[in-house]
Amino acid sequence: MPLTRRDFAKQSAYTGAGVALVGTVDVLATAPGALAAEGAGERGHRPSLGYGPLVPDPKGLLALPAGFSYRVITRTGETTLESGESTPSNHDGTATFEGPRGTTLLVNNHELSGPRSKWAHPVPLVEGLVYDPAASGGCTVVEVSRHGDHVSEWVGIAGTATNCAGGRTPWGTWLTCEETEDKAGENGMTKDHGYVFEVDPHDRPRGHRGAAEAEGAHAQRGPKPIKALGRYAHEAVVVDPRRGHFYLTEDADEPNGLFYRWVPPRGFTPGRRALRHLADDAGVLQAPQCYDSGGRFVDDLSRARKVGTVYGVDWIDVPDRDAQRVPVREQFQDHQVTRARKLEGMWWADGGAYIVASFARDESPVAHDGQVWFYDPRRRTLTLKVLLGVVQDPDKDGAFDGPDNITVSPYGGLIIAEDGDGIQHLFGATDRGETYPIARNELNIGTAEKPSYSEFTGVVFSPDGDTLYANIQVPGIMLAITGPWRRQPHRPHGHGHSRAQERNS
């Protein structure tokens, strides 16, 4: 049943939130009830917030607060798979899972586009795990022992393209997303791409040390795209564990991309291997149509200028989800759907989906350097939680821009991986409307005269919450960060909604 404009207008007085300026005039922060962004080190930070200033790394890799440390888990060109080949490059989206005998399993995307000849370290083609032998990308599975003193890595899926983000399912698998629209015959590909694939981290290929022998193992042999979820430049996906709906983001422009919902067919029971048996046209793929409290249509999410802005959401069906002739986002007129520039990471928590729009420039109505929205499926509303103003000097340490992958922290608030201009950080955002730095990438892949720092990706906590994993995309480094984690300050009771954490992506 769609949410009518009249119903939303009645709700708006209850769900709306105010806004206040904090720090610099380029950054908006919330009144009670929403998150906000503030440049690290700006005035207004209390001593109890965060973990203190970042300490430069003598090894020139990762600056962390005092008392924190890191370990390199995988590094392209240095660490190897169990097969003896190099860890593939261009690390991206990652999820963690409880492994056997106290281990942690991490599924790690490798965002490699185009033909294999383009890359020195593509994902190896393992028999039975290849979708398109011409494609470079895929996922590896990394197993870390209880004390972190042993690491193994193997291929989870190969022959996919531009594996960017993805999402963890409630039944313990990983959905890896192709951020491309290449079809067979384009860019060297032999099959159509732009799909979502499921990877089971526990489904270890035969012939590897410690391979699983349980009945039903190796079910991901012969990778099959989940065509019911559509073919477009996928970024991330989350699953509503209560309703069974999937939410997906699209990173595309000309025109800007969309935020999608997939509604499963009646009688569908999700779980391991269930997605392999879906018909290509199963369920309904839908795009959003947003409107403000006055019932006015909103064409682009960049129009929201205040944290706490709330939009009602209706959903309209996608005509041709496999986009054989016209890209999905072009199948709608601008007055039919609500778009956003660079829709990136997502995380399921608090009964809904946190959704990142990384930045907006000339291709959008209003410029910004990052948004985080929260979609509430019960109220069918989108609420702006984080808004970063345009950073004037991204080469100066302090301001944050270009949020990408995100996770909800077991210690409160969000942890955000930065993919902006200039210096790159991991930073936290609390529910009091403040931010704080967690890490800074110090690996210069440019020159002394023109330094360049790769983005952070794949930010995610271990299942026990003791370790924060994150990647530096280029050259491809997976890091494990440990230290004196503690719960960040909360609002006094009576302000805003409860933020009980839900451990799921």
User: CATH number, domain at 473?
Assistant: 2.120.10.30
Return d(Cα 66, Cα 56) in angstroms, integer: 10
Numbers of helices and strands, H then E, in the chain: 1, 29
Per-residue pLDDT of 292-318, as tens digits, reads: 999 999 999 999 999 999 999 999 999
| Torsional class of 116: left (φ above 0), alpha (ψ -120 to 50), beta (otherwise) | alpha
Q: Report CA-CA distances (Å) from 312 to 32, 73, 426.
A: 21, 43, 31
Listed residue (49, 20, 25) closest to 36, CA to CA: 20
The residue among 4 and 496 whose pLDDT is bigger is 4
In sequence order, what DSSP letters do the residues of 370-437 get, joined into one string? -EEEEEETTTTEEEEEEE-PPPS-TTSTT----EEEEEE-TTSSEEEEE-SSSS-EEEEE-TTS-EEE
User: Across residues 228-245, what is the average pLDDT?
Assistant: 97
Residue-wise pLDDT tens digits, 161-189: 999 999 999 999 999 999 999 999 999 99
Is residue 275 helix, strand or coil? Answer: helix
Quick one: pLDDT at residue 492?
43
Q: Does position 497 have pLDDT exceeding 50, yes or no? A: no
| Domain presence at residue 300 | yes
pLDDT digits (tens, 9 = 90+) for 280-295: 999 999 999 999 999 9
Q: Are 330 and 255 in contact (CB under 8 A)?
A: yes
Instruction: Work out whether the CA dihedral 88, 445, 407, 269 comes out positive or negative.
Output: negative
Residue 505 within any structural domain of the chain: no
Tell whether 207 is covered by a domain. yes
| Total domain count, the chain | 1
pLDDT value at position 173? Answer: 97
Alpha helices in 2-47 (DSSP H): 5-15
In a domain, 38, yes or no: yes
**Average pLDDT for 332-355:** 96
Residues facing 23 on adjacent strands: none
Residue 12: predicted pLDDT: 43
pLDDT of 196 > 90? The answer is yes
The predicted model gives 245-274 an average pLDDT of 95
Q: Is the pLDDT of residue 2 over 60?
A: no
Contact residues for 59 (Cβ-Cβ < 8 A; gap 6+): none
Residue type, 189: M
Alpha carbon dihedral 82, 87, 93, 96, in 10-degree steps, equals: 30
Between CA 291 and CA 298 the distance in angstroms is: 5
CB atoms within 10 A of CB 427: 23
Using pLDDT thresholds of 50, 70 and 90, give the confidence band for residue 220.
low
Residue 501 lies in a domain: no
Query: What is the amino acid identity at position 474?
Result: V
**Residue 477 and residue 76 in contact, taking contact as beta carbons nearer than 8 Å:** yes
Name which residue leads in pLDDT, 374 or 209.
374
Q: How far apart are CA 342 and CA 363, in angstroms?
A: 11
* Interval 345-359 mean pLDDT: 96
pLDDT at 485 over 70: yes
Contacts for 65 with CB less than 8 Å, ≥ 6 apart = 50, 51, 52, 53, 54, 55, 437, 438, 483
- The answer to whether 444 and 453 are in contact (CB under 8 A) is yes
- Is residue 504 included in any domain, yes or no? no
Q: Which amino acid is at 288?
A: P
- Identify whether the C-beta of residue 59 lies closer than 8 Å to the C-beta of residue 458: no
77 token code pair? 């060109």
Residue 334 lies in a domain: yes
Is a pLDDT exceeding 60 seen at residue 3? no
Say if 326 falls within a structural domain.
yes
Alpha-carbon gap, residue 473 to 489, rounded angstroms:
31
CA–CA gap between residue 230 and residue 320 (Å, rounded): 8
In order of 14, 135, 352, 483, the CA distances from 115 in angstroms are 52, 5, 37, 41
Least confident stretch, 36-50, 94-108, 207-221: 207-221
Please give the mean pLDDT across all residues of the chain: 86
Q: What is the pLDDT of residues 433-448, one digit of tens each?
A: 578 999 999 999 999 9
Range of the domain at 261: 5-213+221-482
pTM > 0.75: yes
Helix, strand, coil % in the chain, rounded to nearest 5: 5, 35, 60
- Residue pLDDT, tens place only, 104-131: 999 999 999 999 999 999 999 999 999 9
Predicted confidence band of residue 399 (pLDDT cuts 50, 70, 90): confident
Place of tokens 């499963």: 264
CB atoms near residue 240 (< 10 Å): 18
Give 121's contacts (C-beta < 8 A, 6+ positions apart): 76, 77, 86, 87, 88, 89, 476
386 by Cβ neighbours in 10 Å (0-12 / 13-18 / 19+) ranks as: buried
CA atoms within 13 A on the CB side of 78: 8
The lowest-confidence range among 7-11, 46-50, 243-247, 284-288 is 7-11
pLDDT digits (tens, 9 = 90+) for 30-80: 222 333 433 434 444 444 789 999 999 999 999 999 999 999 999 999 999
CA-CA distance, 199 to 161, in Å (whole number)? 15
